[in-house]
């Protein structure tokens, strides 16, 4: 059966290579999102400092990250994705 599959909820990239693309985050963006979702906002902001597009990432995705964090479980996060994006992209 293998290990459970996990992914970050859908977010918009702000890095120069994939700016504006859905779910095409670079490593810094992905780590920052994970920290934010786990309640480590200061660390998430600190991580993005000095990276091109990094300062914009949390601002552009702020409402999405807040909605995802409010979802208490995987079903809540998926429901937030549907509300924000109108279904699976």
The string of pLDDT tens digits covering residues 15-24 is: 999 999 999 9
Give the CA dihedral 32, 38, 43, 45, nearest 10 degrees: 50
Give the CA dihedral 81, 36, 50, 85, nearest 10 degrees: 10
36-86 residue pLDDT tens: 999 999 999 999 998 888 889 999 999 999 999 999 898 999 999 999 988
Which residue matches tokens 């290990």? 3
Query: What φ, ψ does residue 81 adopt, rounded to 5°?
Result: -60, -45
pLDDT given for residue 26 in this prediction: 95
pLDDT given for residue 55 in this prediction: 83
Model's pTM, two decimal places? Answer: 0.87
Sorting pLDDT into bands at 50, 70 and 90, what band is 89?
A: very low
């Amino acid at each position: 059966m293998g290990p459970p599959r996990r992914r970050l909820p859908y977010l918009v990239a702000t890095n120069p290579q994939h700016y504006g693309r859905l779910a095409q985050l670079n490593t810094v963006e992905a780590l920052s999102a994970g920290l934010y979702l786990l309640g480590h906002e200061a660390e998430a902001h600190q991580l993005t400092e000095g990276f091109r597009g990094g300062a914009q990432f949390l601002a552009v995705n702020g409402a999405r990250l807040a909605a995802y964090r409010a979802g208490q479980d995987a079903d809540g996060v998926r429901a937030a994705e549907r509300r924000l994006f109108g279904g699976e992209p």
